[in-house]
Amino acid sequence: MSRYSAWAVFKNGFSGQKNWDRQWRDPEPKKEYDVVIVGAGLHGLATAYYLAKNHGIKNIAVLEKGWLGGGNAGRNTTIVRSNYMMPGNRYFYEHSLKLWEELSHELNYNVMFSQRHHVSLFHSPAARDAAARRYNTMRLTDTDGELWDLDTLKKEIPHLNYNNARFPIIGAAVQRRAGSARHDAVAWGYARGADRQGVDIIQNCEVTGVTREDGKVTALETSRGRIGAKKVGFAVAGNTSRLWQMAGLGNLPIESHKLQAFVSEPLKPLLDHVVVYGVGGAHFYISQSDKGGMVFGGDLDWYKSYAQRGNLPVVQDVAECATAIMPCLGRVRLLRHWSGVMDMSMDGSAFICKTPIDNLYLNGGWNYGGFKASPGSGWYFADLIANDRPDPVIEHFDLGRFKRGVIIDERGAGPDPKLHG
């Protein structure tokens, strides 16, 4: 399979750009694999990529019930940042951000990672103090972070509502290295990179059962027949509980909730940064895509759901937030909105861990935050599967943390999944 380059574009120009190779094969499932990953979202694909790349395991399949990247991978608002404070999260997200910084080169695929700054507005001295504490804590371990006063903010982003906002803006906490990326390209880049190393990505292949013998998983029942596996990893985002129950493992500290995202008609360049607004119950984040659409989102739909379909009250909430913070958007038309089903965990943090079954591994509980996490998640999940022990960076992402009383509750919201994010 050929490398992508300016030269390749030029050369293919002679044949009307019609002779490019397929980006990945469409293989028939083999009888057995050394590692089977369930779910071809970002986490599953990245895991397969790093298993092959970092650990030399090549006999791998990724099973996907729909098409690759059709789940949350292709539904998120693409914000990438590492402004986490809790010890269990901080090193992990910073490592992930470092991987993002090299990802287009690593994958030979333009993931359009744009470090356009993540600008989190604050509206009271107390919120500024909390942000100062968070960003100073990050800086202790070399994550960048700074505070902008009102003058700086006005200069950088002139068209926020500085005049008569219900909650006056007084400044912002900023991570310059944060930004956004093209979500589809990340899924496709990892898929192509994994496929090139021999990984079989098997689409339209729903896992419907987990066969266990002598305490181990031996095979997965799928809509394309039984597929044997020496090791199995789950990376199915909002469907983790279902797979967990197929394996006969009972309950999890997870509820499935849906989150919506929105895109407007394309506009001329308007917003250079990712802007986040959260005060008095409002929660809103917005950026502008390279095609010009304003991409934004807010809270989840407030009740548990597996429907990949959003409700209308949240459309109204989000529209109110948009016009509250950027009144200039008032007459912009909404083009599309959609929703994805996510694992909301009991403390808002993730799981990359071993399970009660020896050769079964879990990756899930990503809440709203799994897009930014995907390179790091694939990296450490591959390491866990290959070496059968967690790296110290992900030691806290296990299921036992609730029993130990060391939950990683970044928001301090308590054991109510819908309140995390």
Partner 1 sequence: MIRINCPFCGERDHTEFSYGGDASIVYPELDASMEEWHDAIFMRENIRGMQSETWHHANGCRMWLVVERDTMTHEIQSVRPAHKGNAAVLSTTDTGGEQ
User: Which residues sit at the interface with ligand FAD, rule CB under 6 A?
Assistant: 38-44, 63-66, 70-73, 75-79, 206-207, 235-237, 239, 243, 259-261, 297, 340, 342, 366, 368-372
Residues 6+ apart with CB under 8 A from 131: 120, 122, 147, 173
Strand, coil or helix: 235: coil
Provide the minimum distance between the beta carbon of 6 and ligand FAD in the complex, in angstroms, as a whole number. Answer: 30
Fill in the per-residue mask, 310 to 329: x = in contact with partner 1 (CB under 8 A), - = not in contact. Answer: -xxx----------------
CB 172 within 8 A of CB 122: yes
Q: Using CB under 8 A, which of 346, 353, 362, 382 touches partner 1?
A: 346
- 307 is a site residue for partner 1 (CB under 8 A): yes
Positions in 227-266 near partner 1 (CB under 8 A): 241-242, 245, 250-256
Q: How far apart are CA 280 and CA 302, in angstroms?
A: 16
Nearer to partner 1, 145 or 310 (CB): 310
Which residue in the block uniquely carries the two structure tokens 């898929």? 191
Positions in 373-402 near partner 1 (CB under 8 A): 402
From the list ligand FAD, partner 1, none, pick the one residue 402 interacts with, judged by a Cβ distance below 5 to 8 Å according to partner type. Answer: partner 1
Provide the minimum distance between the beta carbon of 332 and partner 1 in the complex, in angstroms, as a whole number. Answer: 24
- 415 is a site residue for partner 1 (CB under 8 A): yes
- 4 is a site residue for partner 1 (CB under 8 A): no
From the list partner 1, ligand FAD, none, pick the one residue 236 interacts with, judged by a Cβ distance below 5 to 8 Å according to partner type. Answer: ligand FAD
- 305 is a site residue for partner 1 (CB under 8 A): yes
From the list partner 1, ligand FAD, none, pick the one residue 39 interacts with, judged by a Cβ distance below 5 to 8 Å according to partner type. Answer: ligand FAD
Nearer to partner 1, 88 or 417 (CB): 417
Which residue in the block uniquely carries the two structure tokens 């597996």? 306
From the list partner 1, ligand FAD, none, pick the one residue 73 interacts with, judged by a Cβ distance below 5 to 8 Å according to partner type. Answer: ligand FAD
Q: Which two tokens stand for residue 211?
A: 């066969």
Own/partner long-range contacts of 96-102 (Cβ < 8 Å, ≥24 apart): 96/372, 96/373, 96/374, 96/375, 96/376, 96/377, 96/379, 97/143, 97/177, 97/178, 97/372, 99/375, 99/376, 99/379, 100/181, 100/372, 100/375, 101/177
Q: How far apart are CA 44 and CA 36, in angstroms?
A: 10
Nearer to ligand FAD, 169 or 237 (CB): 237
- 286 is a site residue for partner 1 (CB under 8 A): no
Q: Position 22: which residue type?
A: R
Q: How far apart are CA 266 and CA 159, in angstroms?
A: 18
Q: What letter would DSSP give residue 145?
A: -
Q: How far apart are CA 40 and CA 68, in angstroms?
A: 5
Burial (CB count within 10 angstroms: exposed 0-12, middle 13-18, buried 19+), residue 164: exposed
Nearer to ligand FAD, 131 or 237 (CB): 237
Site residues (CB under 8 A) for partner 1?
241-242, 245, 250-256, 302-307, 311-313, 346, 402-403, 415-418
